[in-house]
Amino acid sequence: MSASAVVMMIVYLGIVGGGLAFGVGLMATHPDGTAGELGALEHEAKAAAREAGGIGAGMKHT
């Protein structure tokens, strides 16, 4: 491997690893407490649309 390839590999791994570490740190310090609430709201909206004959009206859901 040439020296420039090794340098580019180190830079790439630093960017990807740093981004991953930053994301993990951010999620650990700022948890998303509304995820369950928003998911329930979306589910209720889809169910209401289905009952009104909108999204997925002819589909069978179990």
Among positive and negative, which fits the CA dihedral 22, 28, 31, 36?
positive
- What angle (nearest 5°) sits at the alpha carbon of residue 42, between those of residues 28 and 22? 20
- Alpha carbon distance, N-terminus to C-terminus of the chain: 56
pLDDT at position 53 over 80: no
Phi and psi at residue 58, in whole multiples of 5°? -90, 0
pLDDT at position 56 over 80: no
Indicate the pTM of the whole model. Answer: 0.45
pLDDT at position 59 over 70: no
Contact assessment for residue 55 and residue 46, using Cβ atoms and an 8 Å cutoff: yes
Would you state the structure tokens that stand for residue 53, as one six-digit string? 């004959």
pLDDT at position 62 over 80: no
